[in-house]
Amino acid sequence: MANATTNIDQKVLQYENFINEVLRRDLQKVLKQRDSVYEKISQYLQLKNTLQSLQEEGSKHLKTDVDLGCNFYVEAQVEDASKVFVAVGYGFFVEMTHDEALKFIEKKTAQLTKFTDQLTKDSAKIKAHIRLVLEGLRELQGFSDLPESPTRDLF
C-alpha cells in the first residue's frame, strides 16, 4: 500500500513539474509573442493615421518632434514628406509613397492579425492541456469535483 502511495506521489510530482516547467512556460511564451505582434499592429495603425492626416493636409512640408532616445525629443522639419520609409521586417526599410505605404500597411496588419489569431488558438490549446493535466491529477489523487457553491432561491 505504501509503495502504491509513493508511486502516485511520484506521478503527481511529475505532472506538476510538467505543468509548471513546460506548459505554463509555453503559454507565457505564446502570450508574450502575441503581445509583441499586437504592439507591431499598433505601430502600423499609428503610421496609417499619420499618413492619412498628411494626405488630408496636402502639404509637403512637415514639422515634427523626433525621439533621439530616452524620451529626448528635438524638433525636425521635413522639406518633402511625399515619401516615407516603412519598416517591412528583418530590419529593412523601404521608401514608399503615401498610397503605397497605406496599401502595405493594410496587407501587413491583415497578416499580423491572422498571426495573432493563430497565437490565440495556440494559447487556448495550451490552456486546455493544462486543464486536462490538472483533471488527471485530481483523478489520480482521488479527489472528486469541488462542490458547487450553494445558491439560494430569491423568490
Model confidence pLDDT, tens digit, residues 20-50 = 888 999 999 999 999 999 999 999 999 999 8
Q: Is the pLDDT of residue 150 over 70?
A: no
Answer whether 126's CB lies under 8 Å from 19's CB. Answer: no
The topology (CATH level 3) of 2-140 is Helix Hairpins (1.10.287)
Q: In 3-state terms, what secondary structure has residue 152?
A: coil
127 DSSP assignment: H
Grid coordinates representing 10?
Answer: 511520484
The residue ranking higher by pLDDT, 37 or 64, is 37
pLDDT at 153: 53
